[in-house]
Structure 1
Amino acid sequence: MNTRPLSQNTISKTESQEETVQKSWIRCETSYQLDPSQKWKADVLCGAEFRHVSSRSALLLRQASEEMQHLFTLVQGLGLMVLLADPNAMILARCADETHLSVCRRLNLREGAIWSEEIAGTNGIGTCVEDRCPIFLGRGAHWRFCFSLLISYAVPIFDAQGRVAGALNLASMNGKTEQPIDKLLMETLAQSGRRIEEQLFRNSYEGQKILTLGSVRGCSAPLVSINDQGEITGATHAAREWMGWTDKTIAQHPNLLTELEEGSEISFQKAEENVIRSALAVSQGNVTQAARGLGISRATLYRKMKSFGIN
């Protein structure tokens, strides 16, 4: 088998990005035993199969459709297309113009095409859902040589239970890499992914209060939903990762502020402050209503507001 040396990773200046691609290349070589010189064409589900499989992602498709169109209008002049995939790396939807059609036909970048890492090798969609993290693949960073000119930016999208619901992908075949706008494109893509995640989360917990634990630092926003007693009913991927919550934790509906108070680090104190500010914003400054929503007394809320310098 013709293998490519793993030291040829040339796409990133950040350690985490390099590690992500290197781990993917190692999987391609050792776990999947893929020949990088072998040409490959994606399997594409027939119409009936695609309708059956894509129905599992109907909610994602509905929530992502408008965001995909918005994203496409932002990047269209850069020669990029927008792709949405399910958690198994099957393409669900595509926004592309006529200049992309020949590439789409050649690589089967179309609805129903399966781009899992196990069969396609390192690629934006497949590696993104495999590692549950954003990835940028510049020229020569894909495992297969036939994708050497494919440029790919991808971010995972998480559902209301913190699981990977799919991936959002920007792709082109122009072979350009190390562009000054790469970081800007990744951040724009991440923002689109977070907006889709937030809409999925809000729809799932409609009628409940949605609060934030803090600022966004990745592909997922740290949001929680709480009921009228201040009990946690749901949390996004970022909130679960930060707080160490599991499905079992959330199923027990613990009180949000009690959970935050148990943490001794400054980050937990900041999260508690953000929750209080968020609750006050939701109640439009009504302290009594905010305290009731958080499941604490008004006196306790006033004490916490004073400790955080909230007027």
Structure 2
Amino acid sequence: MINTSQRRHIDTILSYGGHQSMYKSYSPTHELIGRSWRRCLTEYGLDPSQPRPARIVTHQTLREHQDSVDEFLNVARAGVEQLYTQISGLGYVLLLSDHRGITVQFLGNKHDDDRLHKAGLYLGADWSEQYAGTSAVGTCIQEQQALTCHRVDHFDSSHIGLTCTAAPIKDPSGQLLAVLDISALNSSRTPESQNFALHLTQLYARLIEDAYFLRRYRNRLVFKCDQSRELVQVNGQLLFALDEQGNILAANTAGRTLLAQYRPFSKDSISLPDLLECQWRDILSITYESKDGVRAFRVSGTQQMLYGILIEPKTNTFSQLNVSEVCASQEESVPALDKLCADDPAMRQTISLAKRLRHRDVSLLILGETGTGKEVLAKAIHATSHRSDQPFIAVNCAAIPESLIESELFGYAPGTFTGGRVKGAKGLIQEANGGTLFLDEIGDMPLQLQSRLLRVLAEGQVLPLGTSQPVNIDVRVLAATHCNVMQLIADGLFREDLYYRLNGATLKLPALKARVDKHYLIKLLLKRLNPAARLRADAMSALLGYSWPGNIRQLVNTLTFAEAVCEEGEITVHHLPEECVAGRLDKSTFALPMQSLNSCDTSTLSAEPLSDPWLEKTNSIPEQQMLIDRLRQQRWNISAVAKQLGVSRPTIYRRMKKLGISLPRDV
């Protein structure tokens, strides 16, 4: 017998003409429900005034449906049981149906057997939309997406007391395999009460789907990745099964979503190296080269970062085939270059290219923001090249006065100009003969000197000022700039022919804020400053969250200061410069000193390989000035500075004594 609530519901459906507003207030999934109602009325010819009893298939039919998904059920069972233990106390039952809507697994309270059987919340129940009308399972099958069908969302009036939430489970090819559903006989009238149920069901549907994916491709190499390095080992969202050449054989739902975004810009068959802008060996060697078994990759054509691990196949066929390939394809270890990068994709490509080109005499153009380590990279390339026993001469084109740069670069004969050396000078280009000439900030070189430099590079000869006889030279030129050289060329400030002479290959250094290996760089730099120093979690979080406009130079300064003022070797957030915590940049506090080039003394320009390249200029960092700045900001109030830095007053006094800082007489 139809009651008043059912009659009202029947009238609503019969008067429904596709107008979503008619029942929009009932459910946040009204669009899905509305499409389902239309299908029930127009395609299936269902009559809402004729409620249908629950349909439970025969034991034989149920067995046939279960047998067709037997392998899947074996994988899903653990996830289903785990989910049920979390929801059973809240009055929910759990249904797992196949792609046709037949419930092939059911978990519920036996005390409610009769009521559940009558409602169709039972093993063998048919929840296909064609028979049962709008329901979570049936509509999920048709719409291929998760939803909650809450009370009056159901088409059949006999189900308007139920709340049901379902999520699809797909096979590795993207075809619907099953539907996971949790339902309750009684629930709150508000559909929002089921939001958590929807998220929980989706979570377990994904876990079951991924477990089945791994089962299906247990004899293949599987690449598992996630946007979080910390969670990829336990909860990697994307799965890709690979063949021996790195081609993607299959992907889980999250992986297919990424491929769908990428495919319009690629060929039909996508390889994982193409997707991640890397070499096949970079993927194969994850286990061999990365310390934690995780490696960072950048999705092709985007800034999206993914952190991946490898799941080895159960059989030995793949491993035996590829172990030798991995070993053979691994790049030569070059410690001086390798230690400049932990695990950043952009840096990895730059270092890989630098390794391949280090023995070639091709000119290199190093691009990057100020403080990203352009000179450090140049020195490492020189130190690992066949010219390593010859001079490395660095010239800061922006630091030499324009009036002196020509004589400094090209040299001059005796008596060429007043104030010059009596015997003349070779010039920095000649000083680099046989070795490497590093032209830093080449974009700031005066235009008139660019022509002379171009001639030197083209002819392999330098003509000192005041002479008529050129001198043969053999130098490899590495140039660097933070400028947009193409814009300089367009503005007429840089010679295009010189650009192409310098740019035999380009090495790009990412800004520190864009690097995904900041965590490792911070630990590495701190260890080199003080192996015994410790960085507390709050300090690390602040450092990782800061934008680092001064890049690695600023990071070195920051760590040096923090290590100097901390107590007992433990750095907390209170020991960091204020701008790192508040997100403000106070250039007066952390202005990095730039070593100017002495026009008369080039003895400091010949470089030897450094064991700690990032800390090359640490000794020149004005720790004294940093502390003085702090004291001045607090008007030489030692207690205020100590409180600001989170240390004791004696610590400040000790640092002042060590650095030779005295209180002003008027304090």
Provide the TM-score with structure 1 as the length reference: 0.80
For residue 10 of structure 1, report the CA deviation from its aligned partner: 3.5
8 Å CA contact 2:96, 2:106 repeated in 1? yes
Which residue is 1:52 aligned to? 64
Is the deviation greater in 137-146 or in 82-91? 137-146
C-alpha distance in structure 2 between counterparts of 1:238 and 1:41, whole Å: 38
C-alpha distance in structure 1 between counterparts of 2:84 and 2:311, whole Å: 33
For residue 108 of structure 1, report the CA deviation from its aligned partner: 3.0
Which residue is 2:273 aligned to? 257
For residue 109 of structure 1, report the CA deviation from its aligned partner: 2.5
Which residue is 2:575 aligned to? none
The structure-2 alpha-carbon separation of the partners of 1:20 and 1:298, relative to structure 1 and needing over 3 Å to count, comes to farther
For residue 49 of structure 1, report the CA deviation from its aligned partner: 2.0
The structure-2 alpha-carbon separation of the partners of 1:210 and 1:154, relative to structure 1 and needing over 3 Å to count, comes to same
- How many residues align structurally? 286
C-alpha distance in structure 1 between counterparts of 2:104 and 2:77, whole Å: 10
Is the deviation greater in 79-88 or in 104-113? 104-113
For residue 142 of structure 1, report the CA deviation from its aligned partner: 0.3
Larger radius of gyration: 2
- 1:125 pairs, out of 137, 142, 145, with 137
Is the deviation greater in 25-34 or in 197-206? 25-34
For residue 207 of structure 1, report the CA deviation from its aligned partner: 3.6
The structure-2 alpha-carbon separation of the partners of 1:95 and 1:280, relative to structure 1 and needing over 3 Å to count, comes to closer
C-alpha distance in structure 2 between counterparts of 1:257 and 1:178, whole Å: 48
8 Å CA contact 1:37, 1:146 repeated in 2? no
Q: Does 1:164 align with 2:176?
A: yes
Which residue is 1:222 aligned to? 238
Which residue is 1:238 aligned to? 254
Which residue is 2:37 aligned to? 25
C-alpha distance in structure 1 between counterparts of 2:159 and 2:255, whole Å: 36
C-alpha distance in structure 2 between counterparts of 1:118 and 1:164, whole Å: 17
| Structure 2 portions without partners, runs of 5+ | 1-9, 229-235, 262-267, 279-298, 313-321, 333-343, 352-508, 521-667
Which residue is 1:107 aligned to? 119
The structure-2 alpha-carbon separation of the partners of 1:40 and 1:214, relative to structure 1 and needing over 3 Å to count, comes to same
- 1:142 pairs, out of 142, 151, 154, with 154
8 Å CA contact 1:10, 1:141 repeated in 2? no
8 Å CA contact 1:212, 1:222 repeated in 2? yes
The structure-2 alpha-carbon separation of the partners of 1:179 and 1:116, relative to structure 1 and needing over 3 Å to count, comes to closer
Is the deviation greater in 171-180 or in 196-205? 171-180
**3-state SS of 1:154 partner:** strand
Q: Does 1:97 align with 2:91?
A: no
**3-state SS of 2:106 partner:** strand
The structure-2 alpha-carbon separation of the partners of 1:20 and 1:261, relative to structure 1 and needing over 3 Å to count, comes to farther
Which residue is 1:152 aligned to? 164
| Structure 1 portions without partners, runs of 5+ | 246-251, 283-288
C-alpha distance in structure 2 between counterparts of 1:138 and 1:67, whole Å: 24
- 1:278 pairs, out of 291, 297, 308, with 308
Q: Does 1:8 align with 2:23?
A: yes
The structure-2 alpha-carbon separation of the partners of 1:140 and 1:304, relative to structure 1 and needing over 3 Å to count, comes to farther
Q: Does 1:303 align with 2:315?
A: no
C-alpha distance in structure 1 between counterparts of 2:301 and 2:88, whole Å: 44
8 Å CA contact 1:67, 1:196 repeated in 2? yes
C-alpha distance in structure 1 between counterparts of 2:118 and 2:227, whole Å: 41
The structure-2 alpha-carbon separation of the partners of 1:37 and 1:226, relative to structure 1 and needing over 3 Å to count, comes to same
- 1:81 pairs, out of 55, 74, 93, with 93
For residue 165 of structure 1, report the CA deviation from its aligned partner: 0.6
The structure-2 alpha-carbon separation of the partners of 1:298 and 1:95, relative to structure 1 and needing over 3 Å to count, comes to farther
**3-state SS of 1:244 partner:** helix
C-alpha distance in structure 2 between counterparts of 1:129 and 1:265, whole Å: 34
C-alpha distance in structure 1 between counterparts of 2:258 and 2:26, whole Å: 29
For residue 170 of structure 1, report the CA deviation from its aligned partner: 0.6
Which residue is 2:475 aligned to? none
C-alpha distance in structure 1 between counterparts of 2:195 and 2:246, whole Å: 38
The structure-2 alpha-carbon separation of the partners of 1:120 and 1:231, relative to structure 1 and needing over 3 Å to count, comes to same
Which residue is 1:206 aligned to? 218
Give the partner amino acid of 2:171.
D
| Superposed CA RMSD | 3.3
8 Å CA contact 2:225, 2:309 repeated in 1? no
C-alpha distance in structure 1 between counterparts of 2:26 and 2:223, whole Å: 37
C-alpha distance in structure 2 between counterparts of 1:194 and 1:221, whole Å: 9
8 Å CA contact 2:172, 2:252 repeated in 1? yes
Give the partner amino acid of 2:152.
G
For residue 304 of structure 1, report the CA deviation from its aligned partner: 7.2
Provide the TM-score with structure 2 as the length reference: 0.39
Give the partner amino acid of 2:116.
C
The structure-2 alpha-carbon separation of the partners of 1:215 and 1:102, relative to structure 1 and needing over 3 Å to count, comes to farther
8 Å CA contact 1:85, 1:92 repeated in 2? yes
Identity %: 23
C-alpha distance in structure 1 between counterparts of 2:130 and 2:350, whole Å: 51
Residues 90-141 of structure 1: per-residue CA shift (max 9 Å, x gap): 0001100134312222123222221110111100111111111001111211
8 Å CA contact 2:223, 2:310 repeated in 1? no
For residue 255 of structure 1, report the CA deviation from its aligned partner: 1.9
Which residue is 1:286 aligned to? none
Q: Does 1:174 align with 2:186?
A: yes
The structure-2 alpha-carbon separation of the partners of 1:47 and 1:133, relative to structure 1 and needing over 3 Å to count, comes to same
For residue 215 of structure 1, report the CA deviation from its aligned partner: 4.9
For residue 174 of structure 1, report the CA deviation from its aligned partner: 0.7
**3-state SS of 1:84 partner:** strand
Q: Does 1:188 align with 2:200?
A: yes
C-alpha distance in structure 2 between counterparts of 1:137 and 1:10, whole Å: 13
C-alpha distance in structure 2 between counterparts of 1:53 and 1:255, whole Å: 36
The structure-2 alpha-carbon separation of the partners of 1:37 and 1:134, relative to structure 1 and needing over 3 Å to count, comes to same
For residue 198 of structure 1, report the CA deviation from its aligned partner: 0.6
Give the partner amino acid of 1:278.
G
For residue 80 of structure 1, report the CA deviation from its aligned partner: 0.4
8 Å CA contact 1:151, 1:177 repeated in 2? no
